[in-house]
Amino acid sequence: MALLLALLLVLVPAAAAAPPNIVILFADDLGYGDLGVYGNPTIRTPHLDRMAVEGQKWTDFYVGASVCTPSRAALLTGRLPIRNGMMSAKNRVLFPDSLGGLPQEEVTIAEILKPLGYATMAIGKWHLGHLPQYLPTRQGFDAYFGIPYSNDMDKTPGAPRGPELWKHPKIEYFNVPLMRDEKIIERPADQTTITRRYTEEAVRFIRRHKGGPFFVYLAYNLPHVPLFRSPKFAGVSLRGLYGDVVEEIDWSVGRILDTLEEEGLARNTLVVFTSDNGPWLIFDEFGGSAGPLRGGKGSTWEGGMREPALFWWPGKVRPGTVHELGSTMDLLPTIAAITGAEAPKDRVLDGYDLSPVLFGKGKSPRKEMFYWRGDKLFAVRLGRYKAHFYTRSGYRHRQETAHEPPLLFDLGVDPGEQWDVAGEHPDVIEKIRKLAEEHKASIEPVKDQLLERSPEALTSRAASAKATGGLPLGGAR
């Protein structure tokens, strides 16, 4: 009898420690200053604010690139996109006529979880290749429901030119396909209901697989322009149409959190919310805000790559504000650590395990951040200091400026990157310069997955530029 009791004491805790469910919620073009908990005065985000209060809010959290395609590749693989060809000097993102995508030899978060019995689903914007061999169902996901690239692509011949296209967008202006798994089920996608439908899909998947474990990757295709929201959210925000869109995303987050609690899953589910890059500032009030940070989408200033980031896991994540460095590339190794999955060991990973910070047991192992633009290393952060070797605005102004010595900013004092302190810290510059050279030496040449396009590419791109009055609507170039 004593032996039986001893066995039960061992087995019951083991059974209770089921692998945690994982939910990643990834906004599109949301700025650092677009949430209430990050200081926005007119966009109400009570559910995201709740995530911050009950979980962790990170102040220095970065993405792997300042535009869509490479940023998504970085999150799912834990690697800088320059390592796998998902970053290009020619094309900044994939287009509907692109012939490349995330190489199948890359290992995604979904693929490390599958051997542990996880049910996996990708929902929303993919943008890592629309051809069959690159779709989510070929990258570790059991199911997919969403659009294969940006919501502003595939403009129709009847779409208006210039500002009218994004100031008063209509569904029929964008022939974007909505897919289930590998089949198109709606074209053009009804973008006025798309956030709601993504949410409903996530809720159904969670309930269907509540016996767990499961992984949901929900990548909203908003608030990327063109902006759409459901009738229920029309005119609800003081911030106008952009605010309406963000507040509907906040509703979506709340619906998912509520579902996890209703199904008794909250205490065994890690939920992460962040964005793929900074706000698209050239669209004025139809773009977001980087808050106190300089620049936005497309640039290697802080506003282009530092994002809001929230971690929620009741009873596990230690509540508080974290001022240490983190990145979307850290999600794969962190998820591997907390689930017992095996991260790939046959390649360079650029991510770190953040679980000691999440659980209040240690500090972040990340001390540096590399800011690539195309095939060039523009800037490096080491600790609180960031050196810019090159600068260039995200859009419109195409001039690239080289800096020798590099610009240097103390991001602890000056997160807005206004005061160059290079003259005061030559020792810091030398440390960063050495780190940059060592890092560049670790990058091996690979095929540019964004370069090759179908023969019609040049014609369609010229027509796109003409239709939008020269602005890059139709993908972040």
CATH number at residue 401: 3.30.1120.10
* Separation CA 185–CA 180 (nearest Å): 6
Both tokens of 179, joined, read 């897919």
* Separation CA 227–CA 473 (nearest Å): 12
- Are 36 and 89 in the same domain? yes
Residue 3 forms part of a structural domain:
no
Both tokens of 388, joined, read 């810019």
Q: What is the dihedral of CA 310, 311, 312, 313, to 10 degrees?
A: 180
Quick: pLDDT tens for 293-318.
999 999 999 999 999 999 999 999 99
Sheet holding 401-410, edge to edge: 368-373, 376-382, 385-391, 401-410
**Which candidate in 47, 68, 130, 224 is catalytic?**
68
What range does the domain containing 379 cover? 371-441
- Which letter, b or e, does each residue of 105-119 get, where b requires 16 or more Cβ atoms within 10 Å of its Cβ? ebbbbbbbbbeeebb
Both tokens of 132, joined, read 């069959």
Residue 254 forms part of a structural domain:
yes
- Are 292 and 422 in the same domain? no
Distances (CA, A) of 432 to 64, 142, 404, 411, 439: 18, 42, 13, 14, 10
At 47, phi and psi to the nearest 5? -75, -40
* Separation CA 432–CA 410 (nearest Å): 13
**Which candidate in 127, 130, 224, 388 is catalytic?**
127
Residue 438: per-residue pLDDT: 98
* Separation CA 422–CA 135 (nearest Å): 45
Catalytic site includes residue 68: yes
- Which letter, b or e, does each residue of 440-455 get, where b requires 16 or more Cβ atoms within 10 Å of its Cβ? eeeeeeeebbbeebee
Quick: pLDDT tens for 105-148.
999 999 999 999 999 999 999 999 999 999 999 999 999 999 99
- Are 57 and 180 in the same domain? yes
**Residue 106 maps to which CATH number?**
3.40.720.10
Which residue reads 């802080």 in tokens?
302
Cβ contact 28:125 at 8 Å? yes
Residue 476 forms part of a structural domain:
no
* Separation CA 267–CA 55 (nearest Å): 12
Residue 277 forms part of a structural domain:
yes
- Are 291 and 415 in the same domain? no
Query: Above pLDDT 90, what percent of the chain?
Result: 90
Residue 268 forms part of a structural domain:
yes
* Separation CA 140–CA 109 (nearest Å): 8
* Separation CA 1–CA 92 (nearest Å): 67
- Are 113 and 227 in the same domain? yes
Which residue reads 């911050």 in tokens?
52
Residue 408: per-residue pLDDT: 98
Counting as low any pLDDT under 50, the low residues of the chain are: 1, 3-16, 458-459, 461-472, 474-477
- Are 120 and 181 in the same domain? yes
Q: Which residues make Cβ contacts (< 8 Å) with residue 126, sequence separation at least 6?
A: 72, 135, 136, 144, 146, 147, 148, 149, 219
Please state the domain count of the chain: 2
- Are 428 and 328 in the same domain? no
Element (H, E) at 376: strand 376-382
Catalytic site includes residue 425: no
Residue 167 forms part of a structural domain:
yes
Residue 11 forms part of a structural domain:
no
- Are 169 and 271 in the same domain? yes
Q: Determine the 3-state secondary structure of 359 from DSSP.
A: coil
Task: Give me the DSSP letters along 159-182.
Answer: PPPTTHHHHS--GGGB-PPEEETT
- Are 39 and 159 in the same domain? yes
- Are 56 and 87 in the same domain? yes
Residue 186 forms part of a structural domain:
yes
CA 24 to chain centre: 9
Residue 455: per-residue pLDDT: 82
- Are 397 and 280 in the same domain? no
- Are 346 and 311 in the same domain? yes
